[in-house]
Amino acid sequence: MTSPAEQTILLTGASGFVAAHILDKFLSKGYNVRGTVRSESSIPAIRKATNPQYHDKLSFAIVPDMQDPHAFDEAVQGVNGILHSASPFVLQSKDNAREILDPAINGTLNVLKAAAASKNPQLKRVIITSSFAAIVDLDQGYRPGYKYSEKDWNPATYETAAKNPSAFAYCASKGLAERAAWDFVEKEKPQFSLTTICPPWIIGPNINTITSLNKLNESTQIIYNLINGSLTAPPPTDFAGYADVRDVAEAHLLAYETPAAAGERFLVAAGNWSYQTACDIIRAEFPELKDKVPVGTPGAGEKEDVYRLDNSKIQSVLGLRFRSTKETLTDTVKTLLRLEKELN
């Protein structure tokens, strides 16, 4: 069997919050990683955030526009696996089709088309970072008593998403892009297998280079808002599930290395959560923040009557074990407090 040191993995969107953890996970396991970035200006920050001992295993490919039909033609050459984590995260747009839907769908298909066209016999698996947004039916709301699993799909159509609010369109884009990927593999029968990873809210410590607290990723920004005194009450629950970013990265590694992951879809969720629960934990673990963290109604978050998430498949097939909510939030807040000191 080929050792990690003899394999090269293509990671799209290498500058992202989740991608930074995926990059670290694969490099520390001994793989060579080729990361895609939109421009060379992104490379120094990624190298800075990467352990220097892995720099000789890290290379880059410039992909200015994922929607270019030939965007990934060169990047896929000679790789053993592809991790497609690049996708637009846009919650405010003027044109949902142009800014959200088309980039997500076309970017995914362009990766797969380039991979298939390469005729590379070494390429065995493509893993797509999808989302719980591709699973959840937003029209059902909190859906008390229901348990979502990999069998569920967001039913939103392209036409519906194009004319709805941008947040709805983003969720739809994840489902539409993932469906397009599975349809492509079923029709074209390429030399590689496909696996998709579907996490809900992804929270956890940032390890990518942050130059300003105004440039945090969306989920980390929400946690920061809970501790910076900007809120008087915990926000209402939106997505009622979460995953630690480190567990999501581990899921990608396990999905790549486990033969049984071929052709499978995995819901990667540690469990349910709410902003009230987050505030309760943060206030208990960081008493120095008690005047900044909203009180709300302590304990009420644990009693919310909302849907549940079935994570049994990834635990049984890949053996993934999830961090606790307390560990995830504690490590996230510690990182944010450190960044506050460094950047302010």
Which residues belong to the active site? 174
Query: Strands 265-267 and 193-198, how do they pair?
Result: parallel
Closest Cα to residue 181, out of 114, 111, 88, 251? Answer: 111
Chain centre to alpha carbon of residue 329: 17
Chain centre to alpha carbon of residue 251: 11
Closest Cα to residue 42, out of 65, 60, 66, 21? Answer: 60
How many other CB atoms are there within 10 angstroms of residue 210's CB atom? 20
Length of the chain in residues, anyone? 344
Q: What is the DSSP string of 214-260?
A: GG--HHHHHHHHHHTT--SSPPPPSS-EEEEHHHHHHHHHHHHH-GG
Structure tokens at 296: 């709300």
Under a CB-based contact definition with an 8 Å cutoff, are residues 12 and 111 in contact?
yes
Alpha helices in 34-152 (DSSP H): 43-49, 96, 102-117
Question: In whole angstroms, what is the distance from residue 22 CA to residue 290 CA?
Answer: 33
Structure tokens at 293: 């963290």
**DSSP-assigned letter for residue 56:** G
Residue at 297: amino acid letter: T
